[in-house]
Amino acid sequence: MSGKRLQVLITAPQQAELVETDFNEADLAGDEILGRTLFTLISAGTELSGHYLATGNLPRQPGYTAVFEAQRIGADVTDVKPLDRLFTMGPHASRQRRKRSECITVPAELPSEKALIARMMCVSMSTLTTTTARPPEPVAVTGLGPVGHFAAQIFQSCGYELLAVDPIEARRQDAQVVGIRNVAQRLPDKGEPLFGKLGLVLECSGNEQAVVDACKAVRKRGEVVLVGVPWAKKTDLSAFDVLHAVFHKYVVLRSGWEWEVPTQPAEFRVNSILGNIAAAMKWLAEGRIKTDGLYESHSPRDAQQCYQDLLNRRSKKLVTLFDWNKL
């Protein structure tokens, strides 16, 4: 059985449109779930650089994460019923068709739009489960965009002495509003109390200077984890600046690739992507991680304006969502 759905597509460089596309609604496999989308979240980094600014292989289907309401359920799925809300890494589209193994049930007390924030949290939770730094050691997060902001909340809530760093005042204010206690424009320099004492810096800005500063600021054998994607060259620094700092501080400089942990739980492995997302939603439901005032929702019909606002840093909130109920 064929059907239709509305979907946000990138049809040309810097051009997003809501269009009607074909959607397969044929008989579900035993492990599949089909339903209507409630909210989706835009990733300002991945979607802008990976899709919206792309010049080839168009049209493209952007999407980062979705919450949808189950309507039809495969015969082998026994733990989901109609109208249950499910989190998945699906596209910006009015309907979702996903395998049960790709979905996580949203806690009953957690609003659908807030559940999406778990995807932002998941990025730094991979570092949380793999770092050698342990509370109450001092750690820092540089770059308080969506990923860095929630990383700061997570690490502070887990008992680390947290320093949140961003040169943009509005982002520092967002951090202070939700209770981040120690906020600064830059990492500590020589002679300042935390210089040489940080066990970990999560570098979430993708800026070369921030990496060099982090390598200088950590303690000997401290970790600098590259969470932020360096989408473009921003400085004239040479590799020597990084190498010198790494060599003399014995720095562990490594990738912050979130998929270092397995997607599904596995024996002899610590945590998983879906397990981290489930934990993140639990923390959101408990109020351990704050989201009020940090996101805004728009109709998918306004996709072009949303992407332009993100591209040109005109968005008023930290996170931008599509509300599919507004169609």
Q: C-alpha distances in angstroms, 154 versus 96, 122, 178, 262?
A: 30, 10, 12, 20
Contact 71, 5 (CB under 8 A): no
pLDDT of residue 30: 97
Task: Kindly indicate the confidence band of residue 231, based on its pLDDT and cuts at 50, 70 and 90.
Answer: confident
Please check the confidence at residue 269 and state whether its pLDDT lies above 80: no
Task: Kindly indicate the confidence band of residue 268, based on its pLDDT and cuts at 50, 70 and 90.
Answer: confident
Q: Report, as an integer, the average pLDDT of 184-200.
A: 96
Q: Report, as an integer, the average pLDDT of 235-243.
A: 93
Q: How far apart are CA 211 and CA 61, in angstroms?
A: 32
Same domain, 43 and 147: no
**Does residue 286 belong to any structural domain of this protein?**
no
What's the domain range around 177?
Answer: 119-260
**Does residue 284 belong to any structural domain of this protein?**
no
Please check the confidence at residue 78 and state whether its pLDDT lies above 80: yes
Same domain, 97 and 124: no
Task: Please report, for the domain that includes residue 93, its CATH number.
Answer: 3.90.180.10
Tokens encoding 41: 């979240």
pLDDT of residue 19: 97
pLDDT digits (tens, 9 = 90+) for 42-73: 998 889 988 999 999 999 999 999 999 999 99
Same domain, 138 and 253: yes
Q: How far apart are CA 326 and CA 6, in angstroms?
A: 12
Residues 201, 203, 208, 212: what is their CA dihedral angle, to the nearest 10 degrees? 0
Q: How far apart are CA 107 and CA 65, in angstroms?
A: 16
Task: Please report, for the domain that includes residue 206, its CATH number.
Answer: 3.40.50.720
With b for 16 or more beta-carbon neighbours within 10 A and e for fewer, the 272-285 pattern comes to bbbbbbbbbbebbb
Please check the confidence at residue 297 and state whether its pLDDT lies above 80: yes
pLDDT of residue 27: 87
Same domain, 126 and 251: yes
Single-letter code of the amino acid located at 22: D
Overall number of domains in the chain: 2
User: Which of 238, 260, 282 marks a domain boundary?
Assistant: 260
Label each residue of the chain as H, E or C: CEEEEEEEEEEECCEEEEEEEEEECCCCCCCEEEEEEEEEECCCCHHHHHHHCCCCCCCECCCCEEEEEEEEECCCCCCCCCCCEEEECCCCECEEEEEHHHEEECCCCCCHHHHCHHHHHHHHHHHHHHCCCCCCCEEEEECCCHHHHHHHHHHHHCCCEEEEECCCHHHHHHHHHCCCCCEECCCCCCCCCCCCCEEEEEECCCCHHHHHHHHHHEEEEEEEEECCCCCCCCCCCCHHHHHHHHHHHCCEEEECCHHHCCCCCCCCCCCCHHHHHHHHHHHHHHCCCCCCCCEEEECHHHHHHHHHHHHCCCCCCCEEEEEHHHC
Higher-confidence position of 60 and 266: 60
Contact 91, 62 (CB under 8 A): yes
pLDDT digits (tens, 9 = 90+) for 96-155: 999 999 999 999 999 999 999 999 999 999 999 999 999 999 999 999 999 999 999 999
Please check the confidence at residue 163 and state whether its pLDDT lies above 80: yes
Task: Kindly indicate the confidence band of residue 74, based on its pLDDT and cuts at 50, 70 and 90.
Answer: very high
**Does residue 279 belong to any structural domain of this protein?**
no
Residue 18 dihedral angles phi and psi, to the nearest 5°: -95, 115
Locus of tokens 């570098």:
203
Is the pTM for the entire model greater than 0.85? yes
Same domain, 123 and 256: yes
pLDDT of residue 270: 73
Q: Mean pLDDT in the chain?
A: 95
Task: Kindly indicate the confidence band of residue 276, based on its pLDDT and cuts at 50, 70 and 90.
Answer: very high
Higher-confidence position of 139 and 264: 139
Same domain, 226 and 256: yes
Percent of the chain with pLDDT over 70: 99
Same domain, 95 and 128: no
Same domain, 91 and 125: no
Other C-beta atoms closer than 10 Å to the C-beta of 265 total 12
Task: Kindly indicate the confidence band of residue 227, based on its pLDDT and cuts at 50, 70 and 90.
Answer: very high
Q: Report, as an integer, the average pLDDT of 81-99.
A: 97
User: Which of 235, 260, 285 marks a domain boundary?
Assistant: 260
Please check the confidence at residue 214 and state whether its pLDDT lies above 80: yes
Q: Report, as an integer, the average pLDDT of 233-258.
A: 94
pLDDT of residue 1: 60
Same domain, 133 and 235: yes
Same domain, 7 and 100: yes
